[in-house]
Amino acid sequence: MPKLINRIGVFTSGGDAPGMNACLRAVVRSAHEYSIAVTGILRGYEGMIEGEFSDLDARSVSNILQKGGTILKTARSDRFRTVEGRALAADNVRKHGIDALIGIGGDGTLRGASIFSREHDIPVICCPGTIDNDLFGTDQTIGFDTAINTAIDNIDRIRDTADAHDRLFLVEVMGRDAGFIALHCGIGGGAELVLIPETIQTMDEVKTCILDTMTLQSRSSIVIVAEGDELGGATQIADALKEDDRFAGIELRVCILGHTQRGGSPSASDRVLASRLGKAAVDSLVQGHRNVMVGIVNNRIRLTPSKDVWIHKKSINFDLLKLVELIR
């Protein structure tokens, strides 16, 4: 028989993602419906170690649904990677009468949660919050939709100037070692080529492809480069192209979209996803589930054991890559 949950601690961790606030709001208000008290933990695992706790009620999360970032703040914590750091965190959690935790973050957050809950027998449910969309067990992560919309908005602007000057642009997007953002931006932004870590392309193949599209189809071109591509980032690839005489007559520019992709008001889709996942996290705790990630697969809530999420790698849809090639 699982222990009764009287108080939940909630935190955001890892990189911030638009929609984390919407998820937090859903957690607090769903818990309220079950008469479960909620404590907010500031700055993720680091705040858990430092004892940065603050009670939250239904009104504390008013007017945050539409805000990017996270009102709980977030952090990356090296101390939480140590046994001693996690023991301090567990002491603080118990001291505040917290029976279970809900964490909103990416795969590192899940790894930490899994280890922590095994060591200290404190249940942790995670909501997938990362712009990278690289988590197994959910079709989409909180923040991904907003991030690709932001990136595509910028790519549209770059397209105007690329076209006006007949330039080649290498646009680098985020995604760590996954190509989900790049792939979706490639399709949504009409890129001529997408370079992602999940596929191996030689520099020669890349050069040939760019030269072909720039001579046969258009005098301008946009190449989307995932930051984790094995050929390097956009700057390194641009350097390699510049060394090749065949690119001598081509005006080449690099644009690294960087942190613009993380910020901003969450899209409608991210708000809905985050709200559904926040409620599902509370429901699953009440139903007695422990140490799982709540996700949505084929539009239905799915619970996946946390350790399975980081053991399995989510694969990209190769049909989408073929689509880029077909319609470029």
Task: Count Cα atoms within 13 angstroms, Cβ side, for 82.
Answer: 8
Kindly calculate the radius of gyration of the chain based on its CA atoms and give it in whole angstroms: 22
- Residue 167 tokens, joined: 């330039």
Where on the phi/psi map is residue 253: left (φ > 0), alpha (ψ -120 to 50), or beta?
beta
Q: Which is nearer to ligand ATP, 141 or 221 (CB)?
A: 141
Report helix, strand or coil for 2.
coil
CA angle 285, 291, 293 (to 5 degrees): 85
Name the residue nearer to ligand ATP (CB basis): 178 or 223: 178
Tokens describing residue 65: 């649904």
Tell the smallest beta-carbon distance from residue 309 to ligand ATP (Å): 11
Residue in this structure with the two tokens 């809530």, named with its chain if needed: 301
Cα 296 to Cα 273: distance, rounded to the nearest angstrom: 8
Distance CA 31, CA 117 (A): 21
Output 29 or 262, the one with its CB closest to ligand ATP.
Answer: 262
What does the binding site for ligand ATP look like in residue numbers (CB under 6 A)?
A: 13-15, 45, 76-77, 80-81, 105-109, 111-112, 115, 130, 132
Q: Least distance (Å) from ligand ATP to the CB of residue 317? A: 20
For ligand ATP, the closer of residues 209 and 296 by Cβ is: 296
Nearer to ligand ATP, 39 or 77 (CB): 77
Least gap, CB of 168 to ligand ATP (angstroms): 30
Closest approach, Cβ 109 to ligand ATP, in A, equals 3
Active-site residue, selected from the candidate residues 132, 145, 229, 270: 132
Three-state DSSP state, 189: coil
The tokens describing 33, both together, are 């419906």
Q: What CA–CA distance (Å, rounded) separates 14 from 2? A: 29
Q: Are strands 7-12 and 37-41 parallel, antiparallel or unpaired?
A: parallel
Task: Mark whether 132 is an active-site residue.
Answer: yes
User: What span, in angstroms and rounded, lies between the C-alpha atoms of 42 and 50?
Assistant: 9
| Least spacing, CB of residue 100 vs ligand ATP, in Å | 18
Minimum distance from CB of 15 to ligand ATP (Å)?
A: 3
Sign, CA dihedral 112-89-120-87, equals: positive
- Residue closer to ligand ATP, measured from CB, 72 or 168: 72
Residues that are catalytic: 132
